[in-house]
Amino acid sequence: MTKKRLLAISSVVLVALVSAVLMAGPLLSSLLHKRIETFLESKFQSAIEIDNFRFSIAPVPSVTIVGLTLRHHNRTDVPPLIQIQSLSMAPHLTTVFRPVLRFGNVRLEGLKITLPPRDSNSKPAGAPPARKPVRFPIFVEMLEANDAAVTILRAQPEKDPLEYPIHSLKMKDLSFDGPAAFEAWLTNAVPRGEIHVRGTFGPWNGELPRATPIQANYQFQKADLSTIKGLQGVLSSTGSFGGPLDYMEVTGTTETPDFTLRRVGNPIELKTTFTAAVDGTNGNTYLHSIEAQFLSTTLHTSGQIVDLVSGVRSRTILIDATSDSARAEDLIRLAAKTDSPVLRGPVKLTAKIEIPEGDRDLSDRLKITSNFHLLDGLFTNPEIQQKVDALSRKGQGEPKDLNISHVRSQLDASLRVTDGVVGFDSIRFTVPGARLDLHGSYTLGNGGLDFRGDLYLDAKLSQTTTGWKALLLKAVDPFFRGEDGGSRLPVKIEGTKDRPVFGLDRAKPREQVSEQSREKMR
- The answer to whether residues 363 and 432 belong to one domain is no
**Which one-letter DSSP state was computed for residue 124?**
P
Q: Is 311 left (phi over 0), alpha (psi -120 to 50) or beta?
A: left
Q: Tell me, what's the pLDDT at 15?
A: 39
Nearest by Cα to 269 from 234, 245, 242:
234
Rg (CA), the chain: 36
183 lies in some domain: yes
Same domain, 280 and 353: yes
Cβ count within 10 A of residue 87: 22
Do 197 and 340 share a domain, yes or no?
A: yes
Spatial separation of the C-alpha atoms in residues 327 and 268, rounded to whole Å: 14
**Residues 207 and 266 both lie in one domain:** yes
The helix (run of H) or strand (run of E) holding residue 13 is helix 3-43
Q: What percent of the residues of the chain are helix, what percent strand, and what percent coil, each to the nearest 5?
A: 20, 50, 30
What is the number of structural domains in the chain? 3
Q: What is the pLDDT of residue 24?
A: 55
* Burial state string for 491-507 with b = 16 or more CB within 10 A and e = fewer than 16: bbbbeebeebebeebee
Residue at 11 is within a domain: no
Find out whether 211 and 247 touch, Cβ atoms under 8 Å: no
Which of 109, 144, 177 is the last residue in one of the domains? 177
Amino acid 70: pLDDT: 95
Is the entire prediction scored with pTM above 0.85?
no
Nearest to 70 by CA among 57, 83, 60: 83
pLDDT value, residue 1:
56
Note whether 474 and 466 are within 8 A (CB).
no
Would 85 be classed as within a structural domain? yes
- Nearest-CA neighbor of 314 among 252, 253, 231? 231
Q: Do residues 386 and 256 share a domain?
A: no
Q: Do 372 and 386 belong to one domain?
A: no
- CB atoms under 10 Å from CB of 17, counted, come to 10
User: pLDDT of the chain along its 522 residues, tens only?
Assistant: 565 565 545 544 443 434 444 445 677 888 889 999 999 998 899 999 999 999 988 788 899 999 999 999 999 988 999 999 999 999 998 888 888 999 999 999 999 999 887 665 555 555 444 455 566 689 999 999 999 998 888 777 777 787 888 999 999 999 888 899 999 998 887 788 889 999 999 998 888 888 889 999 999 988 888 877 778 889 999 999 999 988 899 999 999 999 888 777 788 899 999 999 988 767 788 999 999 999 999 999 999 988 777 666 667 889 999 999 899 988 888 877 777 788 899 999 999 988 887 777 766 778 889 998 998 898 888 888 998 999 999 999 999 999 999 999 999 999 888 887 888 999 999 999 999 999 999 887 777 899 999 999 999 988 988 888 888 888 888 888 887 788 999 999 898 877 888 888 876 554 444 444 344 334
Any domain includes 66: yes
Rounded Cα distance between 88 and 103, Å, is 10
For residue 515, CA distances in Å to 245, 373, 486, 488 come to 59, 23, 17, 12
- Closest by CA to 117, choosing from 61, 162, 64, is 162
Whole-number Å distance between alpha carbons of 326 and 370:
14
State the Cα–Cα distance between residues 222 and 249, nearest whole angstrom: 23
Beta bridge partners of 135: none
Q: Which residues partner with 224 through β-bridges?
A: 192, 234
Residues whose CB is less than 8 angstroms from the CB of residue 508 and which lie 6 or more positions away in sequence, other chains included? 452, 490
Q: What are phi and psi of 474, to 5 degrees?
A: -60, -30
CB 461 within 8 Å of CB 473: yes
Q: What is the pLDDT of residue 442?
A: 86
First vs last C-alpha separation in the chain? 119
- Whether residue 7 lies inside any domain: the answer is no
| Residue 122 in domain | no
Residue in 386, 381, 319, 308 with CA at minimum distance from that of residue 344: 381
Q: How many other β-carbons are positioned within 10 Å of the β-carbon of residue 130?
A: 6
Is the backbone peptide bond immediately before 257 cis, with ω within 30 degrees of 0?
no
173: nearest Cα among 146, 215, 143, 135: 143
Residues 336 and 193 in one domain: yes
- Residue 474: its pLDDT value, please? 86
Is residue 13 one of the residues assigned to a domain? no
Query: Is 129 part of a structural domain of the chain?
Result: no
Cα separation of 420 and 413, whole Å?
18
CB-count burial class (<10 Å; 0-12, 13-18, 19+) for 1: exposed
Amino acid identity, position 103: F
Determine the structural domain holding residue 95 and report its residue range.
22-117+134-177
144 and 214 housed in the same domain: no
47 and 141 belong to one structural domain: yes
Domain identity same for 186 and 332: yes
Residues 309 and 389 in one domain: no
Beta bridge partners of 272: 254, 292
Q: Which residues touch 10 (CB under 8 Å, ≥6 apart)?
A: none
Same domain, 433 and 494: yes
Backbone angles phi, psi at 471, to 5 degrees: -65, -45
**Helix, strand, or coil here: 29?**
helix
Distance CA 226, CA 361 (A): 11
**Boundary residue ending a domain (349, 377, 405):** 377
Q: Report which of 312, 318, 316 is spatially closest to residue 359, judged by C-alpha positions.
A: 312
CB 160 within 8 A of CB 117: no
Q: Which residues pair with 360 in a beta bridge?
A: none
